[in-house]
């Protein structure tokens, strides 16, 4: 399997499980209706684990342009591969959100809350302050990317397009901690913006919300859509710079 196909299917699974748990909690007449934020946070942590476990062997399981950007900055992925990763991630996110809509179609029909329907696709702030939301997304992504990078052995050499597997350097045993990390970010830092911390996780499903014939839907809130794109990329870049600085100080270098 190529790295790009792995990123596509891994991201599709990430969104199917992640947005699927949101739909299960917020849509009417589901078995999980109103089960709460802890269920959503746990579901997203498991979603990351499932998607990453399936893609890791072939692509390093970025599933997130913020991770891809950090990998490029730190020399763990060749820059000429980054665009292919991001395109695959975006298309996978769109497929995953389509599957959520198909799966929960009857519950979208049974739900009158337009905001709840939008939440099954993308994030939004509970208090609308775009500057503050940008800061929250940047900090949340920083808290995701730096620990992931610190799990990678500092002795790893930069990968090239001739090396088809494990491009981030995470082994199978590190994938569960990444899922737990996302669970923790959701519990601790998710209450303001819904912790997109992944540009395609938000943009791809938001685009599908705009395209799909969802009954009684609202607008897709494009005025906010740039925040969960720019914020995570800023946070990832800062985390990568921090990692490089820490690597320079490491006695293992």
Q: Is 217 exposed, middle or buried (0-12, 13-18, 19+ CB in 10 A)?
A: middle
Rounded CA-CA distance 115/113 in Å is: 6
Rounded distance between C-alpha atoms, residue 127 and residue 241, angstroms: 30
Report the first-to-last Cα separation within the chain, whole angstroms. 33
Which residues touch 245 (CB under 8 Å, ≥6 apart)?
none
Radius of gyration, alpha carbons of the chain = 18
> Which pLDDT score is estimated for 170?
57
Contact 54, 9 (CB under 8 A): yes
Q: Which of 52, 45, 60, 57 is nearest to 12 (CA)?
A: 52
3-248 falls under which CATH superfamily?
A: Glycerol uptake facilitator protein. (1.20.1080.10)
Q: What pLDDT score does 171 carry?
A: 56
**In a structure prediction context, what are the per-residue pLDDT tens digits for the chain, which is 253 residues long?**
799 999 999 999 999 999 999 999 999 999 999 999 999 999 999 999 999 999 999 999 999 999 999 999 999 999 999 999 999 999 999 999 999 999 999 999 999 999 999 999 999 999 999 999 999 999 999 999 999 998 864 433 344 444 444 456 555 556 889 999 999 999 999 999 999 999 999 999 999 999 999 999 999 999 999 999 999 999 999 999 999 998 876 555 4
């Amino acid at each position: 399997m190529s790295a790009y196909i792995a990123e596509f299917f891994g991201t599709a699974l990430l969104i199917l499980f992640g947005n699927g748990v949101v739909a299960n909690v917020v849509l009417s007449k589901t078995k999980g209706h109103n089960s709460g934020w802890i269920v959503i946070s746990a579901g997203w942590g498991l979603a990351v684990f499932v998607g990453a476990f399936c893609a890791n062997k072939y692509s390093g399981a970025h599933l997130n342009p913020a991770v891809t950007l950090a990998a490029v900055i730190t020399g763990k992925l060749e820059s000429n591969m980054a665009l292919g990763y991001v395109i695959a991630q975006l298309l996978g996110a769109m497929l995953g959100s389509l599957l959520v809509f198909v799966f929960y179609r009857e519950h979208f029909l049974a739900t009158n809350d337009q905001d709840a329907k939008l939440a099954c696709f993308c994030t939004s702030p509970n208090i609308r302050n775009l500057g503050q939301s940008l800061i929250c997304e940047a900090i949340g992504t920083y808290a995701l990317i730096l620990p992931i990078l610190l799990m990678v052995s500092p002795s790893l050499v930069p990968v090239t397009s001739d090396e088809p597997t494990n491009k981030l350097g995470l082994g199978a045993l590190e994938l569960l901690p990444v899922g737990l990390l996302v669970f923790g970010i959701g519990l601790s830092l998710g209450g303001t913006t819904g912790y997109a911390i992944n540009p395609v996780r938000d943009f791809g499903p938001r685009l599908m919300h705009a395209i799909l014939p969802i009954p009684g839907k609202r607008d897709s809130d494009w005025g906010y859509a740039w925040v969960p794109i720019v914020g995570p990329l800023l946070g990832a870049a800062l985390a990568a710079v921090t990692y490089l600085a820490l690597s320079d100080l490491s006695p293992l270098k």
